[in-house]
Amino acid sequence: MHLISAEALPHFENMIYLPMLLIILEKDRDSFEKGPFKLKGPYVKLVDEATRAARAELRETTIYLRRQNMKVIRYFH
pLDDT of residue 16: 94
Non-local CB neighbours of 31 within 8 Å, separated by 6+ positions: none
Q: How far from 75 is each of 1, 23, 41, 46, 63, CA to CA, in Å? A: 24, 19, 39, 33, 22
What local confidence, expressed as pLDDT, does residue 64 receive? 97
Domain range list for the chain = 9-67
* Per-residue pLDDT, 39: 87
Q: What is the pLDDT of residues 5-59, one digit of tens each?
A: 889 999 999 999 999 999 999 999 999 999 888 889 999 999 999 999 999 999 9
